[in-house]
A and B are shown apart, each in its own frame.
Chain A
Amino acid sequence: MHFVSFTMASLSEEVLLVVKKVRQKKQDGTLYLMAERIAWGPEGKDRFTVSHSYSDIRCQKISPDGKAKVQLQLVLHTGESTTFHFANESTSRKDWEAAKELLQQLLPKFKKKANKELEEKNKMLQEDPVLFQLYKDLVVSQVISAEEFWANRLGGINNGESAACENKQEVGISGAFLADIRPQTDGCNGLRYNLTADIIESIFRTYPAVKQKYKENVPHNLTEKEFWTRFFQSHYFHRDRISTGTQDIFSECARQDEKGLKSLVTQGVKNPMVDLLSLEDKTLDEGYGISSALPSTSHASRTVKESSNFAIIKRFNHHSAMVLAAGSRKRDVPADQASETSSTDGNSRDSDFFQPPLKKVKLQEAIEYEDLQQENRPKTVALNLKKSDRYAHGPVPLQSQQYTTSQDIINSVNYIKHEMSNYKPNLTQVLSSAAASSAIAALSPGGVLMQQVAQQAINQMVPTEIQAELKHLYVAAGELLRHFWTCFPVNTAFLEEKVTKMKSNLERFQITKLRPFQEKIQRQYLSTNLTGHLECMLQAAYSKFHIWQTRRMMRKT
């Protein structure tokens, strides 16, 4: 494989593979496989006539092995396809192989990304009807392009990825993943184990000790294949076999597991209701009681069969515990973080101390008869705050100038007192009685100035479908304006371009959406100015744009 880095036009990309003498549409040319796209340019020209981003490619199709024409076809998501013919007589097969292999590695990576994005978008639209409407208003009606629409939303997705992850449930491990690798005899005294990436992943997640071993030994000491062969030969895999030798690399894993299990056991259980050790209140002293022929469990007296049975039972308990732990391991981490940050919400860590201990909760659960109680109201978790004021009021910045000293207050009171005592009505300069009474009339209910109050609320005057339409218009306009205003301050060429485009988008919106709506309501209603505010907002944006543009012009000149 050649690793060439070369510059073409303005952009520099890492080129992973260059294959010469590749025909496309009966034209000879060169095929380039780059980090993010595949491209083909005709011979003797320095531009690509074909260029596909990997994420646009759905799959590659290859010609069968024996065929004379060595071809590779790329099928795009849009349904189009491009066919390359490897025409170099001597190395065509080899070139083809190399391109195919590389594509095989590259495509899944991009596919995942593309699919994930698509899924994410779909999900967002499904979950959020407002967004969906917006999408319909703006993208489907081609006010802005889909890319623009998603541009800063997907940013939100990526930033909020950690949040999304928390909601997303971690996929657990099948309890029977070891069963899926049941060996098959290959007919000649050998066993074949089928391993898939999923199974390996499961093994690693369930048995971290094996992963450790893998990291240590592969590929320095063992090849991958050897590693797994040894794994399946080891008694670690076949737990019913008794450990014989210690040269096995997995015996250490077994020991580690044993240790882990022991420490788990000695830790004891959290739930006192299942703690068998403290179940009995008073055990009989040694030597008392009917010893009901308990088979002695000391290792010495155990037969081989018994200890292998014992090993199986232990293995199952351990396996189930590990599978269970693997499923919940990931989730522990954010929970921990959350509890650490929780000290900012008015609860410090020691508040755990005030929570009823698990034992008490379990006891209450155990004695509860839900149907004997009057109501079965849903159980809610009580908000447990130590400092409720911290919760109710956010921290207020101290602003010294807003504070008035008591001296100030006394002074101002004195001042007012003083003013009041010296108050003399200036009777010559008051309103005439007629003007006064008309003013009172105007301010009384039904008067000229009080009409606003009597006016019906908009929701009673306007039919619902107009209201809904107006809402959509508002949302769409808000979205566009948001795009527009985010461009400021305009300090890059990209933003410059965007702000111009956005302005034209706004204008287009005004023409294609707002105008028809205005006409529509004019046909039905005359006086109410429903769209006045929208116009205002648009106008503000236009004037802003105008100012910016004139300034730019001035700077340029």
Chain B
Amino acid sequence: MKLNIDGLLVYFPYDYIYPEQYSYMLELKRTLDAKGHGVLEMPSGTGKTISLLSLIVAYQRAFPLEVTKLIYCSRTVPEIEKVVEELRKLMEFYAKETEEVNNFLALALSSRKNLCIHPEVSSLRFGKEVDGKCHSLTASYVRAQRHGNPNQPVCRFYEEFDAVGRQVPLPAGVYNLDDLKDLGRRKGWCPYYLARYSILHANIVVYSYHYLLDPKIADLVSKELAKKSVVVFDEAHNIDNVCIDSMSVNITRRTLDRCQNNVDTLQNTIQRIKETDAAKLREEYRRLVEGLKEANVARETDVYLANPVLPDEILKEAVPGSIRTAEHFVGFLRRFLEYLKSRLRVQHVVQESAPQFLKDIFDKVCIDRKPLRFCAERLQSLLRTLEITDISDFSAVTLISNFATLVSTYSQGFTIIIEPFEDRTPTIANPVLHFSCMDPSIAIKPVFQRFQSVIITSGTLSPVDIYPRILDFRPVTMASFTMTLARTCLCPLIVGRGNDQVALSSKFETREDFAVIRNYGNLLLEMSAVVPDGIVAFFTSYVYMENIVASWYEQGILENIQRNKLIFIETQDAAETSMALEKYQEACENGRGAILLSVARGKVSEGIDFVHHFGRAVIMFGVPYVYTQSRILKARLEYLRDQFQIRENDFLTFDAMRHAAQCVGRAIRGKTDYGLMIFADKRYARADKRGKLPRWIQEHINDGSLNLTVDEAVQLSKHFLRQMAQPFSQVDQLGLSLLTLEQLESPEMLKKIAQIAHQT
């Protein structure tokens, strides 16, 4: 259908539309008009992606000069591929309706592991190996060597791409990862480099967060993207953690040992080159004197996305003299390394700020702040000059130099914690230096500054006002949408008591309490008898799940559950869990029914959907608080309190509730879907917890279901499931939660739609 969104003609590739999709597009349009940022929470399964794409594509077509590019960031590879497929659907609809050739170029970009077609390289299992092997075949000096030595192996796909691939831009169309690979095979071009090259002139780019948020990757891939782009972060409820992760460094003794080896290798290579090709080193020296001028010019003219690791100031300066020659730099690295080794020889926990660390290093080994800041850049230059083939070997020394640059650049937002041993095993010495970022806004700041509109959206962003605070930006729109339903297809229940009236809670004091564990087991057992097909149960942590499973086993509860359904359990091994997941789906599919025991914050809870019969009930055992005894977390909470005035408890609850919402939201993936959401902890009934759940879940919790016993919950579930099992057709939804174009345009419906968006 063709829609009129506030004066903009939007092609929408379906015959019907959900009211909330219309509302969502209105808000989105407003954000783009204002050239500002937005935070939009829209329930999962209400067609968020297609709404986003329809509106932004329409906007791009209507105002080609205002918005030149859409950068769509999602979290996982399947999500990325799903987005591209939806986009393909939209583009096909455009082609059918307008009957003109579309000149849109849209493509997905992923790591080499998912795009490589080189027979040997692509058969490697880990992304890191693929990257390293690829580099050893495609680095510029490797290829240069080939001129002298034809036996030097290179990648023929890259050579072919380099020779002809850049001359003609990729023809318009929608390219998913597999399409790129097919094209690459047909033409003999490297799909990865083709995609990386093509994103510069593509209208729509779909890739992972890391390509924009992780400075180490963004610097390579996304640096030159147009300023007039709209950036969308989908599934963005965890975006702060992604930001923090990309800026944090951990150094162990093993890292330092490997670093030592790296430095030795560097030293030897320098020696060798000095004897054979001293001119090369002199050339490098000259370049360093000139400074990082090029980068500076580019950034000033706003061509490049700023790199938070490489602060503006150092670009204006030349590399300091003390580390300019290769030998001096290696000597410098050695000194730094020795210092770090000495710091790891501690007997007690040390926590200090970056300035304290800098002062200490100056006092002890006379290393100044300035050369430290250039460390990362200087190392890159050296590695290039020395023509190191396999850079993945040098990950340790790269890590150290990145740490050096970060610690000397940011005096705030980071903390250094040195722990001599793990808390759980105080007898085994395993010193770790954590350099933790506590401020997610540092990594995302360049994105907000550079791109005109950044949209942060997800099914669970409640409370929406906290994201602008922790990411430090001013959004023009913040809205939370509800889910219009013709039938209440979700049934959130808070089970606070067992049948014996014992309060159910995963809180620390009652964690080992047998009565609680038994009642939890009872709940699962009773549910397994009532709920058809699949049940997914989430625990607060892996250790907690292990303990509960063990005592359920001892008490024979699991065996009784097995009478009703098969049991599969998430393990810490991803491959094993994948297999369990597939078997779980198989068991749901063939009617036997199964239970998946899983962990909040685990991979399953974040990336796997349990549509329809794959998840008729989700049980959340306990409130998934993060492990609060961690020093890093404590430091972060302190920082949040001091800098953003967010109280510790508020943040912890927010964090726990967003994960709980993620878990229970896995079961509802659309309006034709239905599922139970069981919160098995009495603490969920409290207003401060309940209030932080997304609005579309919250509004279905009625006062009667706040503190249920197991039996009551079973009764309610039976009733709910019986109702949901009745036939449900399109007609039932029409006019209520599903609209035709005429229905949409009626004035009273427009009035109703205005209430769907909940502005904050």
Taking a contact as CB atoms under 8 Å apart, the answer to whether B550 and A312 are in contact is yes
Cα(A370)–Cα(B111), bound, Å: 32
Residue of B nearest to A264 (CB): B579
User: Which of B15, B423, B556 touches A374 (beta carbons < 8 Å)?
Assistant: B15
User: Which of B17, B251, B574 touches A276 (beta carbons < 8 Å)?
Assistant: B574
Taking a contact as CB atoms under 8 Å apart, the answer to whether B563 and A176 are in contact is yes
Chain A residues numbered 233-247 whose CB sits less than 8 Å from any CB in chain B: 240
Q: How large is the interface on B (under 10, 10 to 19, 20 to 34, 35 or more residues)?
A: 35 or more
Check: A175 CB closer than 8 A to any chain B CB.
Answer: yes
Check: A287 CB closer than 8 A to any chain B CB.
Answer: yes
Cα(A367)–Cα(B581), bound, Å: 20
Taking a contact as CB atoms under 8 Å apart, the answer to whether B399 and A285 are in contact is yes
Cα(A367)–Cα(B78), bound, Å: 11
Chain B residues numbered 703-744 whose CB sits less than 8 Å from any CB in chain A: 729-730, 733, 738
Cα(A372)–Cα(B93), bound, Å: 14
Which residues of A lie under 8 Å from residue B580 when comparing CB positions?
317, 320-321
Check: B428 CB closer than 8 A to any chain A CB.
Answer: yes
The stretch that binds A, out of B208-216, B296-304, B379-387, B495-503, is B208-216
Taking a contact as CB atoms under 8 Å apart, the answer to whether A309 and B575 are in contact is no
User: Which of B250, B566, B609 touches A288 (beta carbons < 8 Å)?
Assistant: B250
Which residues of B lie under 8 Å from residue A359 when comparing CB positions?
178
Taking a contact as CB atoms under 8 Å apart, the answer to whether A176 and B16 are in contact is no
Taking a contact as CB atoms under 8 Å apart, the answer to whether B17 and A367 are in contact is no
Classify the interface of chain B: helix, strand, loop or mixed: helix
User: Which of A176, A266, A280, A324 touches B586 (beta carbons < 8 Å)?
Assistant: A324
The stretch that binds B, out of A207-215, A289-297, A480-488, is A289-297
Check: A134 CB closer than 8 A to any chain B CB.
Answer: no
The stretch that binds A, out of B79-87, B333-341, B356-364, is B79-87
Check: B395 CB closer than 8 A to any chain A CB.
Answer: yes
Taking a contact as CB atoms under 8 Å apart, the answer to whether B15 and A292 are in contact is no
Which residues of A lie under 8 Å from residue B428 when comparing CB positions?
301
Q: How large is the interface on A (under 10, 10 to 19, 20 to 34, 35 or more residues)?
A: 35 or more
If A282-B217, A313-B546, A373-B14 touch, does A277 touch B569 (CB 8 Å cutoff)?
A: no
Chain B residues numbered 79-121 whose CB sits less than 8 Å from any CB in chain A: 80-82, 85-86, 89, 110-111, 113-114
Cα(A328)–Cα(B582), bound, Å: 14
Check: A314 CB closer than 8 A to any chain B CB.
Answer: yes
Cα(A291)–Cα(B248), bound, Å: 9
Cα(A296)–Cα(B571), bound, Å: 13
Which residues of A lie under 8 Å from residue B241 when comparing CB positions?
290
Taking a contact as CB atoms under 8 Å apart, the answer to whether A296 and B82 are in contact is no
Residue of B nearest to A289 (CB): B245
User: Which of B89, B436, B559 touches A182 (beta carbons < 8 Å)?
Assistant: B559
If A276-B607, A372-B738 touch, does A285 touch B78 (CB 8 Å cutoff)?
A: no
Check: A336 CB closer than 8 A to any chain B CB.
Answer: no
Cα(A382)–Cα(B560), bound, Å: 43
Check: B473 CB closer than 8 A to any chain A CB.
Answer: no
Taking a contact as CB atoms under 8 Å apart, the answer to whether A370 and B248 are in contact is no
Name 17 A/B residue pairs within 8 A (Cβ), A-sorted.
A172-B592, A174-B562, A178-B562, A179-B560, A240-B553, A261-B576, A270-B582, A271-B582, A276-B604, A278-B114, A285-B216, A293-B627, A293-B630, A310-B546, A321-B583, A366-B78, A369-B670
Check: A364 CB closer than 8 A to any chain B CB.
Answer: yes
Check: A448 CB closer than 8 A to any chain B CB.
Answer: no
Which residues of B lie under 8 Å from residue A323 when comparing CB positions?
566
Which residues of A lie under 8 Å from residue B577 when comparing CB positions?
276
Check: A1 CB closer than 8 A to any chain B CB.
Answer: no
Taking a contact as CB atoms under 8 Å apart, the answer to whether A324 and B582 are in contact is no
Check: A281 CB closer than 8 A to any chain B CB.
Answer: yes
Cα(A182)–Cα(B554), bound, Å: 12
Cα(A240)–Cα(B552), bound, Å: 12
CB distance from A294 to the nearest CB of B (A): 8
Cα(A373)–Cα(B729), bound, Å: 12
Chain B residues numbered 524-554 whose CB sits less than 8 Å from any CB in chain A: 542-543, 546-547, 549-550, 553
Taking a contact as CB atoms under 8 Å apart, the answer to whether A282 and B211 are in contact is yes
Check: B608 CB closer than 8 A to any chain A CB.
Answer: yes
Taking a contact as CB atoms under 8 Å apart, the answer to whether B581 and A269 are in contact is yes
Taking a contact as CB atoms under 8 Å apart, the answer to whether A376 and B550 are in contact is no
Residue of A nearest to B583 (CB): A321
Check: B138 CB closer than 8 A to any chain A CB.
Answer: no
Mark A residues whose CB is within 8 Å of B: 172, 174-176, 178-179, 182, 240, 261, 264-266, 268-293, 295-297, 301, 305-306, 308-310, 312-314, 316-317, 320-321, 323-324, 327-328, 359-360, 363-364, 366-367, 369-374, 376
Which residues of B lie under 8 Å from residue A277 when comparing CB positions?
574-575, 578
Chain B residues numbered 576-621 whose CB sits less than 8 Å from any CB in chain A: 576-583, 585-587, 590, 592, 594, 603-604, 607-609, 611
Taking a contact as CB atoms under 8 Å apart, the answer to whether A316 and B607 are in contact is no
Cα(A269)–Cα(B578), bound, Å: 7
Residue of A nearest to B542 (CB): A295
Taking a contact as CB atoms under 8 Å apart, the answer to whether B210 and A179 are in contact is no
User: Which of A279, A288, A321 touches B245 (beta carbons < 8 Å)?
Assistant: A288
Residue of A nearest to B211 (CB): A282
Check: B76 CB closer than 8 A to any chain A CB.
Answer: yes
If A175-B562, A282-B214, A288-B248 touch, does A269 touch B567 (CB 8 Å cutoff)?
A: no
Taking a contact as CB atoms under 8 Å apart, the answer to whether B246 and A275 are in contact is no
Cα(A291)–Cα(B241), bound, Å: 12
Cα(A314)–Cα(B559), bound, Å: 15
User: Which of B211, B585, B609 touches A271 (beta carbons < 8 Å)?
Assistant: B585
Cα(A285)–Cα(B434), bound, Å: 15
If A287-B396, A288-B250 touch, does A295 touch B15 (CB 8 Å cutoff)?
A: no
If A313-B549, A372-B15 touch, does A282 touch B733 (CB 8 Å cutoff)?
A: no
Check: B186 CB closer than 8 A to any chain A CB.
Answer: no
Which residues of A lie under 8 Å from residue B563 when comparing CB positions?
174-176, 179
Taking a contact as CB atoms under 8 Å apart, the answer to whether B250 and A268 are in contact is no
Which residues of B lie under 8 Å from residue A268 when comparing CB positions?
575, 578
Taking a contact as CB atoms under 8 Å apart, the answer to whether A287 and B395 are in contact is yes
11 more contacts with CB within 8 A, not counting A274-B582, A313-B569, are: A265-B579, A275-B578, A279-B603, A288-B245, A289-B245, A317-B568, A321-B579, A324-B587, A367-B85, A370-B672, A371-B671
Which residues of B lie under 8 Å from residue A276 when comparing CB positions?
574-575, 577-578, 581, 603-604, 607-608
CB distance from A238 to the nearest CB of B (A): 10
Taking a contact as CB atoms under 8 Å apart, the answer to whether B562 and A317 are in contact is no
CB distance from B675 to the nearest CB of A (A): 16
User: Which of A266, A291, A366, A372 touches B250 (beta carbons < 8 Å)?
Assistant: A291
Which residues of B lie under 8 Å from residue A279 when comparing CB positions?
76-78, 603, 607
Check: B249 CB closer than 8 A to any chain A CB.
Answer: yes
Taking a contact as CB atoms under 8 Å apart, the answer to whether B210 and A292 are in contact is no
Cα(A320)–Cα(B587), bound, Å: 9
Taking a contact as CB atoms under 8 Å apart, the answer to whether A280 and B77 are in contact is yes
Which residues of B lie under 8 Å from residue A293 when comparing CB positions?
422-423, 627, 630
Which residues of A lie under 8 Å from residue B114 when comparing CB positions?
278, 281
Residue of A nearest to B672 (CB): A371
Taking a contact as CB atoms under 8 Å apart, the answer to whether B82 and A281 are in contact is no
CB distance from B309 to the nearest CB of A (A): 12
Which residues of B lie under 8 Å from residue A314 when comparing CB positions?
571
CB distance from B477 to the nearest CB of A (A): 25
Taking a contact as CB atoms under 8 Å apart, the answer to whether A281 and B578 are in contact is no
Best-buried of A175, A179, A284, A314 by chain B (most CB within 10 Å): A175
What 0/1 pattern do residues 144 to 185 of B give for CB contact below 8 A with A?
A: 000000000000000000000000000000000010000000
Q: What 5 A-B pairs have minimum CB-CB distances, sorted nearest first?
A: A179-B559, A281-B208, A176-B562, A372-B14, A289-B245
Which residues of A lie under 8 Å from residue B670 when comparing CB positions?
369, 371
